[in-house]
Structure 1
């Protein structure tokens, strides 16, 4: 079988995993996950899965919330089979941060007898378990408790290291289990976060094509179609989110897994993460530095997707003075840029500066080449911008689901939003519309556009 954009729409989720698949893009894709199980009552298969992997001493990883939701049930299912398990529970009164302390707690819970890791939860617990699995070589599985994010089968873990949000290589789980009866009972904010993370793929896919035009970046149409189809399934069932219908919740979980598969296929987060994630990551760091309780990742992404929609629709009318952009690029002030990084990134600034020196992102020569490429392909870029979902479209989807529509609704103040527009492009090396605005000298203009937009 060959993976094509046409074939993708006909494939079940397990058709994508466990085997090497040649693709129309010229590469071969492989997903080192054995199976995905989504359905009603499937948590009852946990003990059979543990037995299938010949585990005698599994370690259950949960927090004080997910333990009540499903961790104790997993324990009981293993007890009934006579399995000698161990449990590590993170006591939390707010969302767990995947930092060095959290990683240390888990690695200390792994002993010489541990032969399987069972993460009971989503988000951070998933990232921590995958990371420790990669470091120890111990296989893992995920028992999802909420359809809240797309990292279940991503081959990177989103960790906070030296105060900087960092994507770190990890080992994929062998099995992902999503019991719809449990998922649909998740807190509303977690379900809406999963939807927000899915909606964020709209702008991510456009950003990927943008970089394809400007930087000749590798692009896989079939992999992009995996994400696009997953988004559409969620949109088609959007009215079932409020009522927590099996179909709506199942589609969100299925979509989050499919986009994770897409990321693993291309060995980066391009099919699922773009400028909306860069803005979100900046907000997250600022909350952490200010001692505020973290917002769920997908909650932020849903909101930033609306902002990026506004950016793209505004850009469709842009008239660029390319000569002025090239002249400004020649006058780039590295010292001034570094001061801005230190001022706006605070504790995370050293990591940003190290990464910038490593990838030479401030090369004037490269910036001029990009400006010339934008100039020569401007009609294509405008056409692409017109394909992006508008702010109104995304707002309507989120509103129908009952999700927040403005940063202020969840406590993100106007200053953080303003600063993120100015500097969030530095969070990752990956090129997005935020980078293009910077190349063209339009960052301040579009920051004002967003400043005004969020006040409406």
Structure 2
């Protein structure tokens, strides 16, 4: 794939805005790591810090060390010893203390968590970073934001993308199958993201960019068409999936936030992740959770279509802030203060806002359902995930009925971002749809 049209150019878009992706090079090819020294020489970096964890050091870190040593580079190694690394305050502080003050480039070796940590730390330290990918497992390689766990709450922070992304096909094609499947799940979630985004544009007048949406659709198409062959480690298919993941990240960079790539399916996934961490339970890969969240979100959209004829009229809204606050404390535990603060700032659940959105929904009902009709069926997503031996129901990753239900009710309160879950709240459908879905899948 020729990346020149996407990189280091300010693009005047038909949406009226200028888009830019601040990435210098993207290399997705066999033997890609061997090109690292020539790229470093071209950009004149000298003080290097290579960041891995126990797993990514074995997957690609040793190969990076070898290439750097052969080229005569001195570098510091930072290797997280955590068996399961979490991008929280402790991990951030460790990296801040380990990166030398005179470092001019961080080389992150890994996928999701390592990338998020290095992206944020390099941004705050005002130094560049490269990423050497170890698995096609998530779409954050080209992203300009870092989702981190701070005070038990999943928060997305501003950052900047890697200067160079290297996806060595000899390495990423050997990634565990569940990691490849996670990348597929992360991209399948874009079906829901784009639907949520379009509905917010219709209901709230939120800015939307048709060209960025088309870029995300291109990403989805690449991944969906190659998922089956990727399960057999076909390098051409793995390459297409990695390219699709990077395209999704470029879309985020163009917009300046995660809106094109994160919707209701991600909110449910983030809520489940927070509950796993709070309970001290193993947390499945981000894309694994997103794939399941996608199946659930599309099924909820299907229920919305099934109920279309009886959506209106509705009883007047009666939001009880005190009761809601108690429910949030139950649902989020120690992470509740951040959620409560967000509602204070936005008032998105207030009766006034609900009535405004209901009126907009009714006024544009035909347009809204024409957008929803473009979604694939939940069964189609299940079949793709099955082809990769990936889970597709929450119970398969130990999400309890209670946590699942709370996710539908309260995951929307993680972000001020309108979508499916807010629609269910606005139209008094949370209880009915949650109970129906639990009966179907548990």
TM range (shorter): over 0.9
Match of 1:56 in 2: 46
2:147 is the alignment partner of 1:158: yes
CA shift at 1:49, angstroms? 1.8
C-alpha distance after superposition, 1:65-106 (max 9, x if no partner) = 111111111111111111110100001222x10001100111
Offset from partner CA, 1:156-186 (integer Å, 9 cap, x none): 1010011100000112211000001100101
Mark the CA change 1:320 to 1:264 in structure 2 (over 3 Å): closer, same or farther: farther
User: d(CA) in 2 for partners of 1:214 and 1:344?
Assistant: 28
Q: TM (normalized to structure 1)?
A: 0.95
Q: 1:429 aligns with which of 398, 416, 419?
A: 416
The runs of 5 or more residues in structure 1 that have no matched partner are: 1-10
For the residues of structure 1 that align with 2:225 and 2:101, how far apart are their CA atoms? Answer: 48
1:280 corresponding residue in structure 2: 269
SS in 1 for 2:306: coil
Residue 262 (structure 1) aligns with: 251
Q: Structure 2: any 5+ residue segments left out of the alignment? A: none
- Tell me if 1:400 matches 2:387: yes
Q: Which deviations, in whole Å up to 9, do the C-alpha atoms of 1:307-360 show, x marking residues without a partner? A: 1111111111223454424x1x2x211111111100111111001001111222
Contact 1:13 1:254 survives alignment (8 Å): no
Secondary structure at 1:243 match in 2: coil
Q: Distance in 1 between matches of 2:208 and 2:440?
A: 32
Counterpart CA distance in 1 for 2:144 and 2:313 is 42
Match of 1:349 in 2: 336
What value does the CA root-mean-square deviation take over the aligned residues? 1.2
After TM superposition, the runs of 4+ consecutive aligned structure 1 residues lying more than 4 A away are: none
- The DSSP-based 3-state class of the residue aligned with 1:176 is strand
Which among 201, 215, 227 is matched to residue 204 of structure 2?
215
The structure 1 residue matched to 2:9, chosen from 5, 16, 19, is: 19
Contact 2:154 2:270 in 1 (8 A): yes
CA distance in 2, matches of 1:173, 1:294: 26
Which residue, out of 82, 86, 92, partners 1:103? 92
8 Å CA contact retained: 2:135, 2:173: yes
Hey, what's the Cα distance between the residues in 2 that align with 1:352 and 1:112?
35
Residue from 179, 185, 194 that aligns with 2:174: 185
Contact 2:184 2:224 in 1 (8 A): no
TM-score normalised by the chain length of structure 2: 0.97
CA distance in 1 between partners of 2:89 and 2:108 (Å): 18
- Residue 439 of structure 2 is matched in structure 1 by 452
